Amino acid sequence: MTVLSCEVQLEDNTRILVEGTIKDQDNMPISEAKISVLTKRGNFTGGENQYILGEGYSNADGHFSVISLYDRDEDFAIEIDGGDAYSTYVYKTNTLEYTPLDLTFNLETVSLKKLAAFNYNMVRTSGESYTLRYSFKYIEGFCLEYYEGITLNEFQSSCYEERVVSRFLNDSNPDFEWLLYVPLGEIVEFTYSINDEPEITEFITINEDNYDFTFTY
């Protein structure tokens, strides 16, 4: 074996093929999506210790074919990143225990969801001493599938799960603005309480690519 670092070991004279097709939820091909073959990626946004073994992009038909180095590691991943416009998909497996037939990882058809930018702005207009406690419950634009051999392990997978962000605004921080990326067409659940009054919940359908939401209290 050829040693890349004290932790990552590459298979000598071995290359793998990673291939498949990327489409959106309307079954339309996605071009220019970035495909990265990684080791030591981690489960969510990647890790500081990750190594890129190979990279490529999908073509106009959504097809990709990437030849990559190969690392036998319990944390092997193929990441498909559609940029801000689409969700991210990650295929993970343990290559210490599994090597695909013909050294080919065929992901077949990978579906990414269109993402919308949800810009929310909380503005106090009622003067001092007013407080706002709020939360947004939404579906994140991320899907990780963990495979044991050719079998999906649903327990270790995490696909389009609910997330909650919350904040308390007062005299020290009366206003707040933030941006979330949410799958287009999903519903964001907005719950708030002014001056610790009973909570109120509203449901926001994200039906625009750039959805601006302003709430005043």
Give the tens place of pLDDT for each residue, 73-99. 889 999 999 988 999 999 999 999 999
* The pairing of beta strand 104-111 with beta strand 115-123: unpaired
- Are residues 25 and 104 both part of a single domain? yes
pLDDT digits (tens, 9 = 90+) for 157-198: 999 999 999 999 999 999 999 999 999 999 999 999 999 999
- Are residues 97 and 136 both part of a single domain? no
Q: Are 43 and 143 in contact (CB under 8 A)?
A: no
pLDDT digits (tens, 9 = 90+) for 35-49: 999 998 877 665 567
- Are residues 86 and 103 both part of a single domain? yes
- Are residues 187 and 211 both part of a single domain? yes
Backbone angles phi, psi at 47, to 5 degrees: -125, 160
**Given a cut of 50, is residue 3 above it in pLDDT?**
no
Percent of all residues in the chain with a pLDDT value above 90, rounded to a whole number: 81
* The pairing of beta strand 200-205 with beta strand 187-194: antiparallel
* Measured distance CA(54)–CA(10) in Å, rounded: 12
- Are residues 103 and 129 both part of a single domain? no
Torsion, Cα 210 187 44 94, to 10 degrees, reads -120
**Given a cut of 60, is residue 141 above it in pLDDT?**
yes
Q: How far apart are the first and last CA of the chain?
A: 63
Name the residue range of residue 134's domain.
Answer: 115-141+148-216
CATH number for the domain that contains residue 74: 2.60.40.3330
- Are residues 47 and 106 both part of a single domain? yes
- Are residues 122 and 202 both part of a single domain? yes
Name the token pair of 71: 């690392």
- Are residues 49 and 70 both part of a single domain? yes
Q: Are 145 and 110 in contact (CB under 8 A)?
A: no
Residues in CB range of 106: below 8 A, 6 or more apart: 19, 20, 100
CATH number for the domain that contains residue 196: 2.60.40
Tally of domains in the chain: 2
**Given a cut of 90, is residue 216 above it in pLDDT?**
yes
What ranges make up the beta strands (E) of the chain?
Answer: 2-3, 9-23, 34-39, 51-57, 63-71, 76-81, 88-93, 104-111, 115-123, 132-139, 142-148, 151-159, 162-169, 176-183, 187-194, 200-205, 210-216
Burial bucket for residue 183 (CB in 10 Å: 0-12, 13-18, 19+): buried
Give me the residues paired with residue 104 across strands. Answer: 17
**Model-level pTM?**
0.85
